[in-house]
Amino acid sequence: MARGGRLRRTGGPLRWLRDLVVSLVLLALLGPPLAVVIYKVVPPPVTVLMIERLIAGKGLDHRWRPLSQISPDMVRSVVASEDSTFCDHHGFDVKAIDAALRHNEKKPGKIRGGSTISQQTAKNVFLWPERSWLRKGAEAWFTVLIEAIWGKRRIMEVYLNSVEMGPGVYGVEAASQRYFHHPARSLSEIEAGRLAAILPSPLKWKAVRPGAYVRRRTGRIEARANVVDRGGLADCVLGTSE
């Protein structure tokens, strides 16, 4: 106790700043794992990209469906088109990343990504779409977490329900209803190939009445999807569901 019976004052701006820093560090460390644990059982209701597109006037059509209500052809098609090593890697495809880096050095005007489905899911659900080292670092951390906590089936389920598939269209169910007028569980092999074909540029390419490039790309995806089927490359997702 201070002289005259007064209590000594503690804290001040420095203590407040210290407490703020500690709180932010704890939030950064505990927030991502907590969010991942919650979304292991709870469908992610909305993403940053959905909100951005909605504000821009694109609308919002997002209909969650469990993996059991999505055609297995859709799973094979996205593995064939987006990430053929999905069942083998632990979130990152080092060879694809290296190939993308070498391509981007040679052709900086045509940037190619090397992201796996796991990385894309981490970005789509938890982060923002802007390209930056900060976002890539956060994406890597979330990728490690969802691989460890969710597993492959849940990653694929969330991916197929959150990925952008057209202006204001998110997830396979909304896309199937919008373009083909039936639920995702009824998607045919060619319809699944069409949806997978537009994923790199869903605001530009069309699944219905597509141009020549998307038709050619769909054909390649169908051929690769047959390889995925014969080779069991999607068994980590479909092995216990068919």
Q: Which domains does the chain have, with CATH numbers?
A: 62-84+91-238 (1.10.3810.10)
13-39 helix and 133-149 helix, angle to the nearest 10 degrees:
50
CB 150 within 8 A of CB 122: no
pLDDT average, residue stretch 188-207: 97
User: Above 70 in pLDDT, residue 135?
Assistant: yes
Number of residues that this document lists for the chain: 242
CB 70 within 8 A of CB 185: yes
Arithmetic mean of pLDDT over the chain: 87
- Amino acid 110: pLDDT: 53
CB 205 within 8 A of CB 215: no
Q: How many CB atoms lie within 10 A of CB 7?
A: 7
- As a whole-number percent, the residues of the chain with pLDDT over 70 amount to 80
pLDDT average, residue stretch 134-157: 95
Task: Give the range among 133-137, 167-171, 222-226 with minimum mean pLDDT.
Answer: 133-137
Q: How far apart are CA 111 and CA 14, in angstroms?
A: 45
CB 115 within 8 A of CB 230: no
User: Above 70 in pLDDT, residue 23?
Assistant: no
Helical segments of the chain, H only: 13-39, 48-55, 72-82, 94-106, 117-126, 133-149, 152-162, 172-180, 189-197, 212-231, 235-238
Q: How confident is the model at residue 242 (pLDDT cuts 50, 70, 90)?
A: very low
- Amino acid 221: pLDDT: 98
Q: How far apart are CA 202 and CA 25, in angstroms?
A: 37
CB 65 within 8 A of CB 130: no
User: Above 70 in pLDDT, residue 21?
Assistant: no
Q: How far apart are CA 216 and CA 224, in angstroms?
A: 13
Task: Give the range among 4-8, 114-118, 176-180, 235-239 with minimum mean pLDDT.
Answer: 4-8
Q: How far is CA 212 from its chain centroid?
A: 27
- Amino acid 90: pLDDT: 94
Task: Give the range among 1-5, 170-174, 235-239 with minimum mean pLDDT.
Answer: 1-5
